[in-house]
Structure 1
Amino acid sequence: MLTILACIFVFGILVTVHEFGHFITAKLTGMKVEEFSIGFGPKIYQQQEGETLYSLRMLPLGGYNKIAGMDPEDPDDPERGFNSKPAASRMLVILAGSLMNFILPVIIFFGIFLAYGMEVPENRPILGQVVEGYPAAQSGLKEGDRILSINGNPVKEWIDIRNEIISAGIKRIPFEVQRGNEKITISVTPDVNPETGKPFIGVVSSLKKVELTPIQAAVSSVTATKNIIKNMYASLYHMITGKAKAEISGPIGVAKMAGQVAHKGFDMLLQFTAMLSLNLAIINLLPLPALDGGHFLILLIEAVTGHKLGKNAMQNIQKVGVAMILALTIFATFKDLTR
């Protein structure tokens, strides 16, 4: 039950925020929005307000704005139709959904940091996480271990761990560890970090929570969002270039993760929502048919060349895009089911 509620919460927020971006910019640029819908399938609620029908549908896995003249099959509206507006206005409407998905995490992180505080690395030489599959875990180091010395040299602060590992190089290094009431010695042979070229063993410091002022929370929320975006683009680049294995999750995988995170607390579910929002924004801006990025690219080409694509061409592009997205969704769902 918690997984279902978590999914409705996460997808509901992401879809509403994304579609609201398209909706508000369409309204502000003078376009006629005939329907603003959250979800797909049968309607469970609808309300007509002025020229716009607001509807809520059964499946909260998407949404849409029906903007006059935007669909190639719609009749042209020379006054308030999508295609009657300047290229800059149309581009803004297309980009606004993803822009809102970039803004949402900043707001979420600001609220979390203000309400719950912010986790920062501790300076004490205590292992907060020992990453599976790396030298530290393979050698027997455990979360909560306090490092007393490395290679015979005393360790007082977390930075000492990093410095001693780099100084020792790629060889077996004795770690003197305080584990509970006993002191033990564990030998670890570092690996080479492929990104930095330096020795590492796969450990992360423990964390502590600190309270932030509103200004500190605002700055930290922007910084956290910026760092996540940077890491996501780096991961995407590594997957495209074959430097990293492509890991794709479909709706089932995302739903499962939402349920798992929800059990850890509401703040963790909010963080998951923020991460997913950034994923949605980045993917949606890819220059592929049927995605906002593909639509933006078409508008950009039209603006540069001064020629609009015909209705048949737009319909064919959309069909290809929908087929690609459907195929990717089926593939991702199959991967979810076979994991």
Structure 2
Amino acid sequence: MQTAIAFIFIFGSLVFFHELGHFLFAKRAGIMVREFAIGMGPKIYGKTHGETIYTIRLLPIGGYVRMAGEDMDDSELQPGYRVGLIVNEDNIVKKIIFNQNNKQLPDLLFLEVERADLVRDLFIEGYDEEEKLIRYSVSRDCLLVENGRETLIAPYDRQFNAKTVGQRAMTIFAGPLFNFILAFFIYLLIGLFTGVPTYEPIITEVVTNDPAAQAGMLAGDKVTSVDGQVVEKWQDLAAIVQKRPGQTIDVTVERGGQLVNLNMMVKEIEQDGQKYGQIGVRYESPREFNPLKAVVFGAQETYNMTKKIFELLGMLITGKFTIDALSGPVGIYKATEQVAQYGFVNLMNWAAMLSINLGIMNLLPLPALDGGRLLFFGFEALRGKPIDRQKEGIVHFVGIVLLMILMVVVTWNDIQRFFF
């Protein structure tokens, strides 16, 4: 149960911040956002505030921000429709009602539609009950009511495709951007509450009978140099030792304010067909509580994790990893279960890594992903005109199908790996 709660909280947070990026920059650009959804599939909760409905959906596998002008969102009234109108004191239409029993609404003005434009010119024209042709202006915040369901019309200047390439690109890019920002804040909070690791090369523990112990190294020793090479960080010591399997090294440590020279033979270990050096010490970095350094720590950790994920992605592209190494929701759930056993801080580190991973994956220039849409915006900027929306829609649809197939394959691999 705890794993399920942790998984839903982490995954929900990642999706929320991703969609929040899209939402805020859409609003900033003046785009009408019809729905802000966490989850996919059937709606289990919804609340309307302003012009947006905020929903939670059944399947915790993603989310979306539905913007006006996307996915055949344009409101159209076809000639011949019989509609009921509610107008204000200036005779401007505030509500258009159709496809329901209008006899229950005696105060309506009835009209048989001849022409209507609810996007650009904002008018409706038709014949009243006396067969007289009449034209009404339509309010920018007019409501369409179909079978009892209300929808706010979206004038063209409020639609996604009416905005500049830069505004649309920033709206789409903001989703992955907010995943990186979330990761930064997670690392920042870790640095603030647990301290920033200094990585001073101070030995935490010496393993009995290993080279370091045999040479006389003690817990608390601070390594200052190896074979005359200055050691400032723990990573410096680890890198030198790993490259010297089977070799003798001279290690200088600071102990009680004095320098002590130690001579030891580096132990040779083999892993994945490669040989590494090891001297038999354990390390846990000292930590410093400093708000400014916590900010730097947050930025460094975000950068380092981003770099590491790109390296792994490169290995996948070059074939060093196969599709079997990928994990879907099942694999992430099982990994979350394992990480949660090591405490809250490790769980937060895991959440930051997943947030960066989500941001990077969404920026890949693949159809249906944010990166794919950004690629089309790039083509539009170069051509000076947009690519045909129908053709772009087909490309994205194919991309969605391929991604769903990949998701099924990865999920099946996860199930076989963990349950069979």
TM-score range, shorter chain: 0.7 to 0.9
Q: How many Å apart are 1:49 and its aligned residue? A: 1.1
Aligned residues: 311
Match of 2:412 in 1: 334
Q: Structure 2: how far apart are the matches of 1:198 and 1:263?
A: 31
Give CA-to-partner distance per residue, 1:228-256, whole Å, 9 cap, x none.
11111122112212345552111001011
1:64 maps to a residue whose letter is: Y
Change (3 A) 1:163 1:274: closer
Match of 1:38 in 2: 38
Match of 1:188 in 2: 267
Match of 2:336 in 1: 258
Structure number with greater CO (CA < 8 Å, separation at least 6) is: 1
Q: How many Å apart are 1:35 and its aligned residue? A: 0.8
Alignment counterpart, residue 391 of structure 2, candidates 301, 309, 313: 313
Do 1:193 and 1:199's aligned partners in 2 also have CA atoms closer than 8 Å? no
Give CA-to-partner distance per residue, 1:129-154, whole Å, 9 cap, x none.
xxxxxxxxxxxx79x9682356xx97
Q: Structure 2: how far apart are the matches of 1:46 and 1:202?
A: 59
Alignment counterpart, residue 295 of structure 1, candidates 373, 388, 408: 373
Do 1:261 and 1:268's aligned partners in 2 also have CA atoms closer than 8 Å? yes
Give CA-to-partner distance per residue, 1:285-318, whole Å, 9 cap, x none.
0000000000000011011102322232122111
Tell me which protein shows more helix as a share of its residues: 1
Unaligned runs of 5+ in 2: 75-118, 120-154, 227-236, 250-263
Q: Structure 2: how far apart are the matches of 1:203 and 1:245?
A: 33
Q: Structure 1: how far apart are the matches of 2:181 and 2:241?
A: 39
Do 1:120 and 1:207's aligned partners in 2 also have CA atoms closer than 8 Å? no
2:51 maps to a residue whose letter is: E
Match of 2:298 in 1: 221
Q: How many Å apart are 1:219 and its aligned residue? A: 1.0
| Residue pairs, 1:72-83, within 5 angstroms | 73-75=72-74, 77-83=155-161
Do 2:339 and 2:350's aligned partners in 1 also have CA atoms closer than 8 Å? yes
- Bigger Rg over Cα: 2
Match of 1:18 in 2: 18
Q: Structure 2: how far apart are the matches of 1:7 and 1:166?
A: 36
Do 1:35 and 1:55's aligned partners in 2 also have CA atoms closer than 8 Å? yes
1:53 and 2:15 matched: no
**Secondary structure in structure 2 of the residue aligned to 1:249:** coil
Q: Structure 2: how far apart are the matches of 1:12 and 1:66?
A: 18
Alignment counterpart, residue 232 of structure 1, candidates 294, 309, 330: 309
Change (3 A) 1:245 1:154: farther
Q: How many Å apart are 1:121 and its aligned residue? A: 3.8
Q: Structure 2: how far apart are the matches of 1:80 and 1:24?
A: 14
Runs of 4+ in 1 over 6 A off after TM superposition: none
1:74 maps to a residue whose letter is: D
Match of 1:147 in 2: 212
Q: Structure 2: how far apart are the matches of 1:303 and 1:337?
A: 44
| Residue pairs, 1:63-78, within 5 angstroms | 63-71=63-71, 73-75=72-74, 77-78=155-156
Match of 1:137 in 2: none
| Worse-superposed segment, 326-335 or 276-285 | 326-335
Q: How many Å apart are 1:208 and its aligned residue? A: 3.3
Q: How many Å apart are 1:57 and its aligned residue? A: 1.6
Give CA-to-partner distance per residue, 1:96-144, whole Å, 9 cap, x none.
000000111111111111112234545244569xxxxxxxxxxxx79x9
Identity %, equivalent residues: 36
| Residue pairs, 1:120-159, within 5 angstroms | 120-121=198-199, 123-125=201-203, 147-149=212-214, 157-158=222-223
| Worse-superposed segment, 230-239 or 74-83 | 74-83
1:224 maps to a residue whose letter is: E
Change (3 A) 1:120 1:261: farther
**Secondary structure in structure 2 of the residue aligned to 1:208:** coil
| Residue pairs, 1:88-167, within 5 angstroms | 88-121=166-199, 123-125=201-203, 147-149=212-214, 157-158=222-223, 160=226, 165=241
**Secondary structure in structure 2 of the residue aligned to 1:207:** coil
Alignment counterpart, residue 286 of structure 1, candidates 364, 367, 372: 364
**Secondary structure in structure 1 of the residue aligned to 2:55:** strand
Q: Structure 1: how far apart are the matches of 2:365 and 2:281?
A: 37
Q: Structure 2: how far apart are the matches of 1:202 and 1:47?
A: 61
Q: TM-score, normalised by structure 2?
A: 0.66
Tell me which protein shows more strand as a share of its residues: 2
**Secondary structure in structure 2 of the residue aligned to 1:189:** strand
Q: Structure 2: how far apart are the matches of 1:88 and 1:202?
A: 55
Unaligned runs of 5+ in 1: 129-140, 175-184
Match of 2:285 in 1: 208
Q: Structure 2: how far apart are the matches of 1:334 and 1:13?
A: 25
Change (3 A) 1:7 1:146: farther
| Worse-superposed segment, 285-294 or 324-333 | 324-333
